[in-house]
Structure 1
């Protein structure tokens, strides 16, 4: 046998042995719980089409990565209610604890509970069957309660837990939000030409018209005393817009337009906008400076409604960041409940670039309606998946 032929046979044997070792290794990993063994190298083929608006937009279905920073998440969190609620508010704060007022979804009873461990006490015996949203005023004594009638109309009623006050706003209000100091509310009512925006108080429900639009689908938020944020209904399938309504001059300024999946969250001082949108076929978060126009990619990926800007340090933002975001059409699938998250509570300082994880929440806790106490030491929120009320120590 020639020397060349011997070398060829040895080479073939080496390659065969290498393949056998690789196959054995992949087989062992598959038995230990990996997804798909050898064939997982090529993908399972069961990933939802992320176009438009998948997390990565490349068909991989990869999850978002946690931001870098402190990973000590041993600080406590606590579930406050077992049943679903329609809304809540901080009523009082003292050395003994923080008192919360919330409304049950089941019967619409308003309950009061303290963080010191005392049991909930019924604050009002009035029932609101079908309640799905409650927007509380200062101290939790007044609320705009939204219910769905048998005729499938949205009814919004001003309700008091302490005095005989009841006033009904127009049917099918598109959106209603409280001001940052919870002294006023802003709502969007349908009109023959689109929508009309009104401010009102939590005492007399005396509306004052301050805005009108030909658009029929807008969502309002009031995170800054100086501006009301008006966002077109977000969808991965259509371009959106974000405008700011100056609460003093009533001037309206469009700050973003044309991006799909667009939602935003304005800082307390009105200088910075956190927004989420599909950019280059990927859903991502961005920080926009309204003064300079500088737009930077945020160091995290979440839905902007799952964040809350601090008031004391306006460059800090508290966010519920999903530990994983499956490939999906964002934000549509999350709004519709076909996708849910398990969150970690993070605090980001945009001035220094630092980030700290404060609480890794249990599986299935998808935080919304974030609220801080006055000292910004405790975070309260609702679990979107079951409507329960929670708190976390920051």
Structure 2
């Protein structure tokens, strides 16, 4: 009897162990996310996120359908799911000049293109790449830097590769697309070193990029082409948290990573002589945007807990405070009109620690678009999303086409790309003012009055 009871108990234990082992080995463990990811929009869902519907009703009351009417909306959401970044590709001159927007989906890595003359979207590359976190367009829209997360036995690795679109056809072992290859553009892929923290592509559309690599006790900055030919080291520093900008072939700017409680600094790096020059320093929460000609710096610092925008002139070493409260990441320097700036300005600023909590996605804004003429000092509001039936846009990473006709940007709330057609129409009359402004059109006088001499 005892032996029979022992057999029954052993059998039950064996069955329970078998069930436990089955569930243990059949369960697929979710990959561990990267701690403190520096990628923008990391909290945005990779797939299935639609966001707020875009109002595509035209001024005459009809509904806009891409390709069906010559009348186009001035403000338009190009894609309905999050993308990792967007850029322009332009071809031809005069009447043959065409402008297209290109962007890469975050979730699947599909690459799309939309001609801005028709707004008819198409997928242009027959490849699928999962978990795209960031893309940087360059080389006139013919190349894109792709940053993605690769999971292996030792953990998650930030990898960086370059896709040269229209180049030599190469295989890609992560591709899962089954569409006909003949309908798509070929690509050439080049890999850069792992764990690149920050990088920038040349804003003058040349075949150049700048990237940083951290090693024990130092950070090294290198110049390379989009085919990763002949990377050259031009910068070294013991500090390892630099945010680069690449305004032109001759200039790379390096700004310390910002925080409200930490004094930030800006340096200019001459790409030919490798000389490093300090431009700004000792400014809490410092973020910057240098003009394409390298003559002016739009920068923000935290004053009494709120972002304060200013303009710094390199030649005169003078600073002019601006009346708008926003961040340089929400602004774009003109390409045709190099002294003009377009900035998205929050209609109101919630109580928060800036810029930290905005970067972390803990606060969001509803922006209007403003234009600043740094020569005359005129500042005017030129667009409110509500005018076009759009409830809320938290605009970031704006960029202008070569003739300043189109403004391409990301909505930080949804992660989707938008385009606004800029025109010389009479500025709208605002119903609300940004922050502490008291009128639609304001001005500043670029004189020594109200300026701070920086050493």
TM-score (ref. length: structure 2) = 0.67
Structure-to-structure mapping, 1:158-197, within 5 angstroms: 158-162=162-166, 163-164=168-169, 165-182=188-205, 183-197=207-221
CA-to-partner distance for each residue in 1:260-313, whole Å, 9 max, x for gaps?
111111112111111111235543111111222211211211111111111333
Please report how far the alpha carbon of residue 84 of structure 1 lies from its aligned counterpart in structure 2 after TM superposition: 0.9
Query: Which of 222, 225, 248 is the aligned partner of 2:246?
Result: 222
Q: Is the 1:158–1:205 contact (alpha carbons within 8 Å) kept by the matching residues of 2?
A: no
Residue equivalent to 1:157: 161
Please report how far the alpha carbon of residue 255 of structure 1 lies from its aligned counterpart in structure 2 after TM superposition: 1.2
In structure 2, relative to structure 1, the CA distance for the partners of 1:265 and 1:209 (3 Å cut) is same
Structure-to-structure mapping, 1:68-83, within 5 angstroms: 76-83=74-81
In structure 2, relative to structure 1, the CA distance for the partners of 1:172 and 1:350 (3 Å cut) is same
Q: Is the 1:123–1:161 contact (alpha carbons within 8 Å) kept by the matching residues of 2?
A: no
Please report how far the alpha carbon of residue 378 of structure 1 lies from its aligned counterpart in structure 2 after TM superposition: 1.2
Count of aligned pairs between the two proteins:
320
In structure 2, relative to structure 1, the CA distance for the partners of 1:76 and 1:143 (3 Å cut) is closer
Q: Is the 1:142–1:203 contact (alpha carbons within 8 Å) kept by the matching residues of 2?
A: no
Please report how far the alpha carbon of residue 125 of structure 1 lies from its aligned counterpart in structure 2 after TM superposition: 1.5
Please report how far the alpha carbon of residue 171 of structure 1 lies from its aligned counterpart in structure 2 after TM superposition: 1.3
Q: Is the 1:91–1:99 contact (alpha carbons within 8 Å) kept by the matching residues of 2?
A: yes
Question: What is the CA–CA distance in structure 1 between the aligned matches of 2:108 and 2:378, rounded to whole Å?
Answer: 44
Question: What is the CA–CA distance in structure 2 between the aligned matches of 1:253 and 1:118, rounded to whole Å?
Answer: 44
CA-to-partner distance for each residue in 1:137-184, whole Å, 9 max, x for gaps?
324332211001222221001223322332221111111111012321
Q: Is the 2:139–2:202 contact (alpha carbons within 8 Å) kept by the matching residues of 1?
A: no
Please report how far the alpha carbon of residue 235 of structure 1 lies from its aligned counterpart in structure 2 after TM superposition: 0.2
Please report how far the alpha carbon of residue 225 of structure 1 lies from its aligned counterpart in structure 2 after TM superposition: 4.1
Please report how far the alpha carbon of residue 118 of structure 1 lies from its aligned counterpart in structure 2 after TM superposition: 4.8
Q: Is the 1:285–1:297 contact (alpha carbons within 8 Å) kept by the matching residues of 2?
A: yes
Question: What is the CA–CA distance in structure 2 between the aligned matches of 1:107 and 1:365, rounded to whole Å?
Answer: 24
CA-to-partner distance for each residue in 1:80-123, whole Å, 9 max, x for gaps?
11111112221235658522221111200111211233532221
Residue equivalent to 1:381: 409
Question: Any stretches of 5+ residues in structure 2 without a counterpart?
Answer: 1-72, 170-187, 423-455
Residue equivalent to 1:140: 141
Question: What is the CA–CA distance in structure 2 between the aligned matches of 1:231 and 1:293, rounded to whole Å?
Answer: 18
Find runs of 4+ consecutive structure 1 residues off by over 6 angstroms: none
Residue equivalent to 1:260: 284
Aligned to 1:152, the other structure's residue is in SS state: strand
Aligned to 2:222, the other structure's residue is in SS state: strand
Residue equivalent to 2:330: 306
Aligned to 2:403, the other structure's residue is in SS state: coil
Structure-to-structure mapping, 1:307-386, within 5 angstroms: 307-361=331-385, 362-386=390-414
Q: Is the 1:217–1:232 contact (alpha carbons within 8 Å) kept by the matching residues of 2?
A: yes
Aligned to 1:106, the other structure's residue is in SS state: coil
Question: What is the CA–CA distance in structure 1 between the aligned matches of 2:381 and 2:354, rounded to whole Å?
Answer: 24
RMSD, matched Cα: 1.8
Question: Any stretches of 5+ residues in structure 1 without a counterpart?
Answer: 1-74
TM-score (ref. length: structure 1) = 0.77
